Amino acid sequence: MVNEFLILMKQELVITLIIFILLFVKLGKEETKNETLINLVNILLALNLVSGFLFQQSGILFGDMFRTTELFTFEKNLLNLGTLIISLQSYNWLKGHKHVSEFYILLLSTLLGMFFMISSNNLLMFYLALELSTIPLAALIPLAALANFDLEKKRSSEAAFKMIISSAFSSGLLLFGISMLYGSTGTLSFTELPAHLNGNPLQIFSFILLIAGFGFKISAVPFHLWTADVYEGAPVAVTSYLSVISKGAILFVLVSVLYNAFAPLNESWYNILFLISVLTMIIGNLFALRQQNMKRFLAFSSIAQVGFILIGITGQSAEGSASVIYFVLVYIFSNLAAFGVINLVSAVTGRENINDYKGRKYK
């Protein structure tokens, strides 16, 4: 039993171990050099990535609330890889920052929540994992705190405030939908839900609220209004994380929930997702053309990409699920490469507008 627990939750346990190591380092009397701390975290993230490919096993824990499969393990590996790349790209920025350990504690706390979210097999477990990745305490929102990590910049604080408001609102919609779904079906288990779904108006309305909650998290139109402002105000490393890791995790969960728990309502969610995907692609691309700031430009570009991904989800097949994973895999490398360029230019020039990329020489 213990061996099964350790194998099925190895990735979550390693992330938890890294967080505890950072806490102990922070509590130590002697200050650790930023370079040493960054290198330590990068090595541990690399070890966690390697461990994800070893001793792979499918199974359930905690009364069918936590489920691990080889597919879920692969999805977590993708997120872990993306986080490692972001950490490597942010080396020059972090080594001169005063709060490196706090940055990694917040970052890895959200990553841990995303890991639990992917493996959740119960709506209650899913919501708790979502809260861990966004609102673990009423007074502290990791992603909002990360968005405010450029402490000297006013727009960073504005980004954090908008992140708090949007996260709280979307979480409220999601919880309201979960509550009504439980009242209608009498269960929160993804395994048992299909047998209790008959498409009555209350279930459809609760499902719409769930889609709205997911829509805020993935920045789908019309739930995208917070995205560009938060991307612009947050540090480049945090913007990369929001654009790729956070969004990828929610999309992985959305595919699993729609294909398994809400399979009986496939006609209803097909029509909803089709409409949202068309609006997201059109509005995301049109608004991207008007942007002057590179981070705002990539924000609307990422919104448009969500529309493409939702088209794959509407396929309602194994090919549709595979297309989402493949898209996110390519998206990780392409988007992080783009943000890596922005990070380098911003570090040298302190500028992020499109006009600043005209080949000028800066001293």
Q: What six digits make up the tokens of 109? A: 């706390």
Alpha-carbon span 14 to 9, nearest angstrom: 9
* Residues across the chain: 363
Domain ranges of the chain: 2-357
Which token pair is 89? 């790209």
| 226 secondary structure, DSSP code | T
Mean pLDDT of 96-104: 78
What's the pTM? Answer: 0.86
Helix (H) or strand (E) holding 222: none
| Tokens linked to 54 | 């070893």
Q: Over the stretch 140-157, which tens digit does the pLDDT of each residue have?
A: 344 555 555 555 566 666
Render pLDDT for 42-68 as a digit per residue (tens, 0 to 9): 898 888 888 888 777 788 888 888 888
**69-78, 145-154, 266-275: lowest mean pLDDT where?**
145-154
Indicate the angle between helix axes 10-27 and 70-89, nearest 10 degrees. Answer: 30
- Close Cβ partners of 39 (under 8 Å, ≥ 6 residues apart): none
* CB of 60 closer than 8 Å to CB of 121: yes
Q: Tell me, what's the pLDDT at 30? A: 62
